[in-house]
Structure 1
Amino acid sequence: MQNIKLMIAYDGSRYYGWQRLGNNEQTIQGKIENVLSKMLNENIELIGSGRTDGGVHARGQVANFKTSTSVKPQEIIEYCYQYLPGDIAVYDAEIVDDHFHARYNAKRKQYIYQIDNGLIHNVFERKYRYHVPQPLDIDKMKKASSYLIGEHDFRSFTNLKSKKKSTVRTISKIDFIQKDTYIDISFEGNGFLYNMVRIITGTLIEVGLNKILPEDVKAILGKKERPLAGPNVPPHGLFLQKVTY
């Protein structure tokens, strides 16, 4: 039995997200599993490092699966390149220890949310950047983001319905990368809740638009009430950038 680790990139625009949904093939996991199952003539079940929502992209998704075949990693890369749709790519594969688990062994994840802050949006980037035409005060957004660093209960910043699951997470770093009218916000942490990055981004944008004060973010965090935080910005600007083990 071999345990194979995959590195995957995808444009999530036309998919319902990473996770397979019953017989629905419009998921990233479903597409890759179908191709691998045909290649290896056995039922392949992928384990992803985490779920990405519908419309969210990935540059560095990690997954693993086990197979009873003696397939070589390069053969997997070549076969997937031939039979996967052009918006999904397996760009690396390797045989790993039998105990490797893409989700449970992940220590840190990095997400990037991409914003176009120009008065007129870039038509070639419109599918991958959220357009905010009003000027954003980045210094205020940076100050607001500082209140989110560390271990906190992020109940205010998730659309998770369950009250039983823990909403405590640790954000180790939030960086702002500016180039011309482009603003990329990078989030690094030990894990992220459902819609967490998009809601935090929406809240930081409200700070940047002077709709709320940077200090308000600290209060929103402490009150643990979702309606107090900003909007859930669209998924098309979000990328799973990297998973660290």
Structure 2
Amino acid sequence: MKNFKQKNKNFIKENEENENIVFGRNPVIETIKSGRNIEKLFVLKEPEGSLKMIISMAREKGFVISEVDRKKLDELSSGQNNQGVVAIVSPYEYASIDDILNYAKQKGEDPFVIILDEIEDPHNMGSIIRSANVCGAHGVIVPKRRTALITATVAKASAGAIEHTKIAKVTNINQTLRELKEKGLWIIGTDMNGDTCYKTNLKGPVGIVVGSEGKGISRLVKDNCDIVVSIPVKGEINSLNASVAAGIIMYEVLRQRSI
């Protein structure tokens, strides 16, 4: 029994880290809309509601569709809530830093970039990407190591936002921060001991650095920031969830830009 449980854990871990799987109705719909190639679409037998719309959209694109039972879908999604649809997609295409900055230039806007420093929880990463898209950020930068992969879990947590948000993967965050500063961006770190974000000028070309849930941003990364900001808190708990904190600061950037 112990060996079976260990094998099952390994299977789930392997599938959670698979960047070629997307599940859930909204994430799959956004994947189809984005133009990303779907190698095969698995849909619950006797589809109803929005599943019929997904099948229609997939047929228009010429994707291969297979109607399967619930057991098969659960296997593909590692037992997670797949809402009756799982897509096997081509590998995620990461953007470059120049792609992100050029996107801002095309929109005639000051660059607004989110940099993630070791965000390992896929739900947090997905939520941050979703907020970045909603708040008008031009892209998200993640490190190649010590970070969550762009998996089905991230896609679902982002509500499909990963298909509409430019994400760049870099080898060295500190080197990237220096590069962004050379290109004119003001790098703003997030930390409990920083200046209050509501009293800080967040306008202009900015890069917001978000640290991991437990450790926050690392010392070297903090040293490479131009300024560090915080969110006022009042209560027995003195810190917020990483994705919640990131969302609050991103909305403050959006608010100041809208004034």
Answer yes or no: same fold by TM over 0.5. no
Q: Which has the larger share of helix?
A: 2
TM-score between both structures, scaled by the size of structure 1: 0.33
**How does the TM-score come out when normalised to structure 2?**
0.31
